Amino acid sequence: MFHQIMNIISLWTLPLILILILTLGLVKKVPLYEVFTDGAKEGFKVAVNIIPYLVAIIVGISMFRASGIIEAIGQLLTPLLSHFNVSADVIPIMIVRSLSGSAALGVFSDIAHNSGPDAYTTKLAAVMVGSSETTFYILAVYFGAVGISKFRYALIAGLLADFIGIVAAILVCNYMF
Amino acid sequence: MNYIFYILITISIIAGVVNGKLPDVVNAILTGAELSVKVAFSLIGIMAFWLGMMKIAKKCGLIKIIAKIIKPITKRLFNEIPEDSPAIGDIAMSFSANALGLANAATPIGIKAMEELQKQNIDKKSASNAMCMFLAMSTAGFQLIPATVISVLISIGYKNPTEIIAPTLLVTTIAFLSAITIAKIFQKIWAPQKETIYNNEKYNQGGEI
């Protein structure tokens, strides 16, 4: 039941928002087509603007992932984290989820398929992936679009919050499952 | 960021040598560069669509209404930008999109909000406190329903995939509130921005600050 309600919500949110914007625009006599295309013009420019920032960060992260260092860190952390019911499979997610969203989702799919639906590991991995955004990607795209190259404390704050999220995920899952 | 960039690449090369994965690391340069352009280009269409929609939403006053509703919160979080700034409405829209799981819409709208914040920034190369706050909040990724994760769980035959919603929501809320708190603390202790010569010149010419 709850599941069906959720499906309806996620299916209808977007169409309803569009209807709301367009109807309100029509009522207020906004020239819809003209204003839409005028705003949409920016799309190409913004996308091209972020390329240099994306290249710097995505190449760096791709090299980092290819170097095998994430596995090495994982091995170092395994003994410590096994105290908290965290299996070695989940550790790559903890490291990778701030770096690459698609990679984190890939690791999560692997865990889900290998450990099966009843495993605690699957649940923990699901919560960890579901509760986070890819910090480095957001940073590159948002700041890249406006040409900010000095992040000040933005990255540290984002990563600290990610870390707190990981700890919270471990504690919450230990308690609930 | 200079150090992070340096460390990311140097450590990758060193670790690649140690682990015998140097060819992979070198290959990653090409695949990473290709991926960056793919990501950027895949954004063009959806970015254009949402920037167009946002412009209509702005013209018909919808964004102003939303901004007014959440004013009590944003006033405290973004104390350095004027209350009636268009950035407030964009920030609100970006969070609504994120919370509702409309990831495709959240990125273009988030960029739009950044552009508005940049207009009030005194140093165009460095991030203002408001920008750092907005970024920290965005990276915490507050989301009501983790749709992608649930679809993976359904695909492996997970009996009750909705049971992960509550713990995920709790964790994401904790991370979100931590991000705000951390950004607020850093705002107090981090060296403030300096107004740049470039901006001063612009100011003297009577241009936009």
Do A64 and A20 fall into the same domain?
no
Chain A touched by B3 (CB under 8 Å): no
Closest CA to B189 of B107, B132, B104, B150: B132
Do A131 and A72 fall into the same domain?
yes
B110 vs B146, higher pLDDT: B110
Chain A touched by B65 (CB under 8 Å): no
User: Does A130 contact B56 at a Cβ distance shorter than 8 Å?
Assistant: no
Do A23 and A66 fall into the same domain?
no
Task: Spell out the residues 6+ positions from residue B25 whose beta carbon is closer than 8 angstroms to its own.
Answer: A63, A66, A67, B12, B13, B15, B16
Do A4 and A64 fall into the same domain?
no
Do A46 and A116 fall into the same domain?
yes
Pairwise CA distance, residues B154 & B160, whole Å: 8
pLDDT at B183 over 50: yes
ipTM: 0.87
**Is the alpha carbon torsion for B185, B188, B189, B192 positive or negative?**
positive
User: Quick one: pLDDT at residue B70?
Assistant: 82
Average pLDDT of chain A? 89
Mean pLDDT on A112-141: 90
Chain B residue at shortest CA distance from A71: B19
Domain count, chain A: 2
Task: Spell out the residues 6+ positions from residue B82 whose beta carbon is closer than 8 angstroms to its own.
Answer: B120
pLDDT at A160 over 90: yes
Pairwise CA distance, residues A128 & A165, whole Å: 8
- Residue B194: phi, psi to the nearest 5? -105, 140
Do A47 and A115 fall into the same domain?
yes
Closest CA to A50 of B1, B122, B43: B43
Do A88 and A131 fall into the same domain?
yes
Pairwise CA distance, residues A69 & B31, whole Å: 18
Do A139 and A156 fall into the same domain?
yes
Dump the DSSP string for B83-103.
TT-HHHHHHHHHHHHHHTT-H
Pairwise CA distance, residues A165 & A131, whole Å: 8
Pairwise CA distance, residues A124 & A63, whole Å: 27
Task: Tell me which H or E stretch contains B194.
Answer: none
- Contact indicator for A100, A138 with CB cutoff of 8 Å: no
pLDDT class for B110, splitting at 50, 70, 90? very high
The boundaries of the domain holding residue A27 are: 1-40
User: Does B156 contact A116 at a Cβ distance shorter than 8 Å?
Assistant: yes
Token duo for residue B31:
């695949």
Query: How many other β-carbons are positioned within 10 Å of the β-carbon of residue A64?
Result: 25
Bridge partner residues of A150 (DSSP): B126
- Contact indicator for A57, A140 with CB cutoff of 8 Å: yes
User: Does B27 contact A129 at a Cβ distance shorter than 8 Å?
Assistant: no
pLDDT class for A13, splitting at 50, 70, 90? confident
User: Quick one: pLDDT at residue B203?
Assistant: 47
Mean pLDDT on B119-148: 89
Q: State how far residue A64 is from chain B, nearest Cα, in angstroms.
A: 5
Do A88 and A168 fall into the same domain?
yes
B157-167, pLDDT tens digit by residue? 888 888 888 89
Mutate to test the interface with B, among A20, A22, A136, A152 (most CBs of B within 10 A): A152
pLDDT class for B63, splitting at 50, 70, 90? confident
Do A122 and A172 fall into the same domain?
yes
Pairwise CA distance, residues B136 & B130, whole Å: 10
Q: In chain B, where are the structural domains located?
A: 36-204
